[in-house]
């Protein structure tokens, strides 16, 4: 068998993992660390991530993983002890705990000292004490899968000063009001059911607000009308009917439409009434009818992910009244029409991630930032 040379940042992890299984020999097959003579994978890696598949981990392994310069996925770890959390606290990379449904306050506080994004995709339970510990984390925090989030727990998350992602079935008004006080630059909520009153409470957030419809039904025009009161950047990730789009068009900030939206001329005509920036960062193709529907929009129109459009559609787009952001290189058939005929073309790519980073920098540079009244 050809000898595998491990990358330098994997060697220490491999040696530490071997100590976790003193009675078994480990070997490397391809990019997988397996028990010798079996196909049972202990871990795997690629150029920019490491995946630990076993539930067992020792302090040496945790310390080695804390030095890994790329995201670490804990895909088998179902609980985390304080010594392991303390060993991981020195990590500056993203830590993703795919099986961790709950965590104790002490371990949460230790993990909060790490410097990369903390992700808990299936965090079923979150106590106020654990929330208070995680709120000290000085990087993005993702809490998904919550069965319930009450107002007291949400209040403990307010001091967190980075992007906060919450995923839950639904929220009550009091909890939403507490979340709206979140001091970070971006609040992201994935939710199955959203009422107009809860939407209005979330809309008070003074930074970027991202709403994701995790259910099957649309949010509805009354919810959209409540969200339109939000004064800053709004990312609306849901499909919508024309009345919902008309309500969103009343939003005064920058409006971003997520990839759950299925574009139709009627909804796009309604959205084109929006007076500010209108962004479709995930739209990869667009029909000529949809291009025609966007012609009357007067603000910046961002279609930088677009890579398929007909010449007929391009002729409609150049008649758009405001600035147009596209990546010309992605549109070989229509690039000549757009480049030659559109007088206020914005060639630079605009991404939601860039906007989020810019908002974070501005937020951090202004320590006196207060909640919008």
Is 24 inside a domain boundary? no
pTM comes to 0.90
Is 197 inside a domain boundary? yes
- Cβ atoms of residues 265 and 288 within 8 Å: no
Between CA 200 and CA 36 the distance in angstroms is: 58
pLDDT value for 253: 93
Between CA 72 and CA 234 the distance in angstroms is: 30
pLDDT value for 4: 62
Is 46 inside a domain boundary? no
* Six-digit token string for 235: 């990312």
Is 17 inside a domain boundary? no
Structural domain count of the chain? 1
Is 139 inside a domain boundary? yes
pLDDT < 70 stretches in the chain:
1-4, 328-330, 347-350, 359, 362-373
Residue 174, domain CATH: 3.80.10
pLDDT value for 1: 44
Is 281 inside a domain boundary? yes
Between CA 221 and CA 258 the distance in angstroms is: 17
Give residue 161's domain range: 79-365
pLDDT value for 69: 96
Is 147 inside a domain boundary? yes
Is 117 inside a domain boundary? yes
pLDDT value for 3: 53
pLDDT value for 356: 76
């Amino acid at each position: 068998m050809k000898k595998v040379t491990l990358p330098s940042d994997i060697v220490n992890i491999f040696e530490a993992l071997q100590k976790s299984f003193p009675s078994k020999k480990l070997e490397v097959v391809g990019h997988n660390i397996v028990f010798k003579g079996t196909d049972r994978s202990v871990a795997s890696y690629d150029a920019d991530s490491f995946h630990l598949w076993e539930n067992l981990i020792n302090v040496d392994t945790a310390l080695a993983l804390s030095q890994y310069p790329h995201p670490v996925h804990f895909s088998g770890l179902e609980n985390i002890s304080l010594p392991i959390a303390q060993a991981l606290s020195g990590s500056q990379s993203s830590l993703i705990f795919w099986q961790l449904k709950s965590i104790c306050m002490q371990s949460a506080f230790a993990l909060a000292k790490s410097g990369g994004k903390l992700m808990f995709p299936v965090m079923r339970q979150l106590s106020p004490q654990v929330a208070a510990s995680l709120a000290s984390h000085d990087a993005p925090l993702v809490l998904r899968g919550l069965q319930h989030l009450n107002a007291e727990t949400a209040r403990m998350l307010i001091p967190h000063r980075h992007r906060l992602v919450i995923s839950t079935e639904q929220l009550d008004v009091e909890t939403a009001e507490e979340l709206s006080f979140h001091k970070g630059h971006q609040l992201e909520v994935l939710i199955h059911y959203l009422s107009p009153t809860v939407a209005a409470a979330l809309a008070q957030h003074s930074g970027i607000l991202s709403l994701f419809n995790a259910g099957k039904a649309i949010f509805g025009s009354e919810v959209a009308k409540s969200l339109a009161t939000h004064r800053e950047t709004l990312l609306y990730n849901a499909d919508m009917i024309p009345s919902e789009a008309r309500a969103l068009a009343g939003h005064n900030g920058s409006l971003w439409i997520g990839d759950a939206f299925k574009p139709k001329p009627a909804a796009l005509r309604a959205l084109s009434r929006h007076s500010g920036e209108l962004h479709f960062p995930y739209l990869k193709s667009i029909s000529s009818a949809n291009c025609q529907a966007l012609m009357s929009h007067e603000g910046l129109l961002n279609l930088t992910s677009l890579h398929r459009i007909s010449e007929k559609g391009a002729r409609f787009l150049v008649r758009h009244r405001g600035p147009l952001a596209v990546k010309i290189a992605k549109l070989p058939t229509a690039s000549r029409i757009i480049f030659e005929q559109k007088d206020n073309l914005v060639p630079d790519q605009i991404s939601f991630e860039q906007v989020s980073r810019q908002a974070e920098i501005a937020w951090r540079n202004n320590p006196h930032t207060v909640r919008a009244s």
